[in-house]
Structure 1
Amino acid sequence: MKTNLTVACIMAIGLVFTSCEKKVENPIVAIDLISEEFPDEKQEVMETFGAIAQSIKDGDMDKLISFHAYSSKFTEFKNGEPRNGGAANENHERTVFGSVTEVVKFDAKDLQIAVYGDVANLTFHSDFHLKFGDDLVIINDQITLLFVNTDDGWKMVHEHHSPLNLG
C-alpha cells in the first residue's frame, strides 16, 4: 500500500512538471531591418511627405510645423552652416515658408524612402520654384528628412539640406 502511494505521488509530481512546460507555438521571427522593405510604412511616409508639401502650398505653417518632433534630439543641417536645433528650425520654416506668396513648382526628384522599422529616411533632389512677392527663387538641393513613427504618425526629427551640384 505504501509503495502504491509512493508511485502515485511520483506520477502526480511528474504530471505537474510536464503540464507546466511552455510550448512555443509562434516563435518570434527576427526582422531584417536592413533588407526588409516595409511597404505599408513606406506608403505612410510618402503620404506624410505629400501632406508636408501640401501644407507649404497652402501656406499653413501650423500644419507644416506639426510634422516635426521638436525635442532636444531634433537637428538640422543647411547651407553648410553648423547644426541647429528645433527652435531655429521652426523659426526658419515659419519665416521662409510663411513668406512664400506662390508655389510655382514643388518637385522632389529621385525620391527614395528607406524604412528601418519605426525610423524612415526620405531623400530627394528638390526642384522648388517659390515666389516671394515678385521674386522667383529656385531651390535645387539634396535633401534628407529623417522620420520616426510616433503615436501621432511619422514625424521629422532631422533635416539636412545641401546644394545640389548640377554642373
Structure 2
Amino acid sequence: MKTKLTFLLIMIFGTIITGCKKREEAKIEVEEVKIDLLNDEFPEAKAEVMALMEELKQTIKDGNVDKLIAGHGYGPKFTEFKDGERRNGDKENEEYERGIFSNVTEVVKFEYDDMKIAVFGDVANVTLHTDFHFRFGETDAIVKDQMTLLLVKTADGWKCVHEHHSPLNKTEE
C-alpha cells in the first residue's frame, strides 16, 4: 500500500514538474526594440506636428483665439521667453495672446521660414523663423522672429508647453 502511494505521489509530482517546464518553454520571447531618442526620426509624430503647425496657421488666419489658446499645455510647467524679457508663465502667455490675436483685423501674411521639427518620442521641438504681417486697424505689424515651440504629446494631442521668441537679425536687402 505504501509502495502504491509513493508511486502515485511520484507520478503526480512528475506530471506537475513536466507541465511547469512545458509552460516555461512555451513562453514567447519578446525582442526589446531600442529607441534612439537623439537619432530616430519618428516620422508619424513628425507628420502630426507638421499638421498641427498648418492648423495653427489656419487658426490664426481664422481669428479663432479660443482654439489658439486650447493648443497650449497651460499649467505650472508652461514657460515663455519673448522680447529679451524675463520668463512668463501660462497666465501671462494667455493674457498676451488673447490681447494680441483678438485685435488683429487682418492677417496679411503668416508664413514659416526654415522650419525644423525634431521629435524625441512624446516631445517635439519646433524651430523656425516667422514671416508674419498683421494689421490692427490702420496699423501694420511685421514680425520677423526666431521662434521655438516645445510640444508634448498628451491624450488631447500635441500641446505647446514652451515658447521662445527672439528678434531675427535684419539682413541687408
TM superposition score normalised by structure 1:
0.92
Q: Secondary structure at the match of 2:52?
A: helix
Which structure has the bigger radius of gyration?
2
Q: Secondary structure at the match of 1:131?
A: strand
Q: Secondary structure at the match of 1:158?
A: strand
How big is the shift at 1:144?
Answer: 0.4
- The correspondence for 2:31, drawn from 5, 14, 27, is 27
The aligned amino acid for 2:54 is: G
**Counterparts of 2:98 and 2:113 in 1: how far apart (Å)?**
24
**Counterparts of 2:147 and 2:28 in 1: how far apart (Å)?**
46
CA offsets per residue over residues 43-65 of structure 1, 9 Å max, x none? 11111111111111111111110
CA offsets per residue over residues 16-49 of structure 1, 9 Å max, x none? 3313426233323121111111111111111111
RMSD (Å) for aligned C-alpha atoms: 1.7
Structure 1, unaligned runs of 5 or more: none
The aligned amino acid for 1:147 is: L
- The correspondence for 1:46, drawn from 50, 62, 85, is 50
How big is the shift at 1:6?
Answer: 5.7
How big is the shift at 1:4?
Answer: 4.2
The aligned amino acid for 1:35 is: N
The 1:12–1:162 alpha-carbon spacing in structure 2 relative to 1, beyond 3 Å, is: same
Aligned-residue identity in percent? 53
Aligned to 1:12: 15
Aligned to 1:158: 162
Aligned to 2:138: 134
- The correspondence for 1:77, drawn from 77, 81, 91, is 81
Count of residue correspondences:
167
- The correspondence for 2:105, drawn from 101, 104, 128, is 101
**Counterparts of 2:127 and 2:38 in 1: how far apart (Å)?**
17
Q: Secondary structure at the match of 2:58?
A: helix
Q: Secondary structure at the match of 1:18?
A: helix
How big is the shift at 1:13?
Answer: 3.5
